[in-house]
Amino acid sequence: MKRYLMTPGPTPVPEKIALAMAAPIIHHRTKEYIDLHEKVREKLKKIFQTQNDIVIFASSGTGAMEASVSNILSENDKALVVEAGKFGERFSQLVSSFGAQAIILKKEYGDFANAQEIEDYVKKYSPKAVYMQACETSTGVFHPIDEIGKMLKEKYPEVVFVVDGITAVGCIDIKTDEWGIDILLTGSQKAFMLPPGLAMLSISEKAKKIAAQNKNKRYYFDILGELNAQTGHFTPAVTLVLGLNAAVDMMLEEGLGNVFKRHEFLAKAVKAAILAMDLELFAKRPSNSLTAVKAPQSIDSKQIIDIMNKFGVSISNGQGSMKGKIFRIAHLGYFYPPDVILTIGTLEIALKKLGIDKLGVGTKKALEIFVEY
């Protein structure tokens, strides 16, 4: 059966990138690879919209999350962590794992943190760093990191601002330097259209100075060590870096503005289709990278997912306490309008089989949006 991957990671891999990764392997200590590695890091600065250094780890995105904690926080340091879903909770666990104190700003799943709340907590607790997601993948929420970053930059410039952009970098316009983001991190299997296995982050000069003074133990995820080694202390994921080079070229060839606009239209079409079908969006501030939808009453979201799978279309269940209550449709990376039309149509079939007749309703609405695109 032909498969359509509409999950928020891994996402589809374009043929051009797959072919780049099919090239003969090269040794990572040769000039050929060293030049490639440096070229990719420079290109990534354009995607991250930063002048800061870029580090590439052979790991999942969680490796970059761990690096952002172990390199910045020493034992007993205080860090403000926004918990609004599974991945905010992961930051809290990482902070605690390295002996630091996690000051938790808790939001309900589906909700977001605003700049005033962050400022209130920073005033009260004086944390060394703020950790949060740009997009909370488990809920589809996009936090106002622009407002939060600008506030911290202006009023609390000593605080390190760390943003998990795993489901945001490369599909949403994030102005790293302008917004004062000291560490922005992401993974390969999202908007970068690669298989899992690479984690990337940008680090500011301020954060580098703090990392140099930090007393916490780290070995593999040593940011300054990686920067000093240029191509890495350890064997890099050469094949994935070849693919990353092709991926970044694709994004820059399309033009960042066009990439962001495409994702905006994809998100707009999915959300409009969902509302036209009398379904309810879960996120109070929805992201352009994925859409979380409340399952209709008396229906487990897994039922919808299972039926769609039979038609070859894969979407994602909720996570944590939202499992069975929501489903998530991705539209980040190698996605275009026909992918959305197909997915919405298959969702309509699944709902029909579960007793809710919305055939053609959401599809028509999405088509109307794409006429504008």
**179 token code pair:** 């917004």
Q: Please provide residue 45's backbone torsions phi and psi, each rounded to the nearest 5 degrees.
A: -60, -35
Can you tell me which residue has the tokens 């944390």? 127
Written as one letter, the residue type at 83 is: E
Question: CA 160, CA 130: separation in Å to the nearest integer?
Answer: 6
Any binding-site annotation on 328? yes
Joined together, the tokens standing for residue 242 give 């070849």
Pairing state between β 280-281 and 135-136: unpaired
Q: Where are the beta strands (DSSP E) in the chain?
A: 4-5, 53-58, 78-83, 101-106, 129-133, 135-136, 141-142, 160-164, 183-187, 198-203, 280-281, 290-294, 313-314, 316-317, 326-330
Tokens 């990719």, residue?
A: 40
Pairing of strands 129-133, 160-164: parallel
Annotated binding site for substrate: 328
Annotated binding site: 328
